[in-house]
Amino acid sequence: MESTTTFNYLRSKISEWKANDLLVPSEVSWARFQEVATNDILPVLCEAQDALEAAGLEVSITTLDEETRCLGFYVNDVGLFFAPGEDALTVHFMARRFTAKEQGYESRFLYKRAKPESLRRLVEEALLRLLGPRRTNAVNL
């Protein structure tokens, strides 16, 4: 059975919806997120990876995939995660410390505000908060 002839109606409707911006918001958000993650977020995470590895820390970055729909950054017991928001307008950011008492926070930002400088500040602040001594949570910027 040829894959190009299966689900023809479904394929044509999806093409029509895309052409008219009528896709479900989560699908629109995923499409936007892939572009922003690749062009804007990933380069900032690579810069942070270089800085942390130069300081002797082990860092890993997960790749985007259809299943998780998330871009992850891990260092020590800390994880930073970027995912598409359900509203097709925002990126969901999560910063976590994986300990007995899980610590962290979440925030959202608009796709149109995903600029390198603001992303650098966001990532740096999260890393300072979660990698630093537990008694200091405030960051002076």
Residue 2 falls inside a structural domain: no
Q: What is the pLDDT of residues 129-141, one digit of tens each?
A: 999 886 544 554 4
- The pLDDT of 28-49, averaged and rounded, is 93
Residue 99 or residue 108, greater confidence: 108
Task: Give residue 1's pLDDT band: very low, low, confident or very high (50, 70, 90).
Answer: very low
Residue 113 falls inside a structural domain: yes
Structure tokens that stand for 84 in this block: 């598409």
Residue 1 falls inside a structural domain: no
Residue 50 falls inside a structural domain: yes
Domain with 23, as residue range(s), is 18-131
Residue 5 falls inside a structural domain: no
**Does residue 98 carry a pLDDT above 70?**
yes
Residue 52 falls inside a structural domain: yes
**Does residue 12 carry a pLDDT above 90?**
no
Q: Could you write out the three-class secondary structure of 61-119?
A: ECCCCCCCCCEEEEECCEEEEEEECCCCCEEEEEEEECCCCCEEEEEEEEHHHCCHHHH
Residue 90 falls inside a structural domain: yes
| Single pTM value for the model | 0.76
- The pLDDT of 47-61, averaged and rounded, is 97
**What letters, b where the CB count within 10 A reaches 16 and e where it falls short, cover 10-44?**
eeeeeeeeeeeeebeeeebbbebbeebbeebbbeb
Q: What proportion of the chain, given as a percentage, has pLDDT over 70?
A: 83
- The pLDDT of 38-57, averaged and rounded, is 96
User: Which 3 state secondary structure label does DSSP give 21?
Assistant: coil
**Number of domains, the chain:** 1
Residue 4 falls inside a structural domain: no
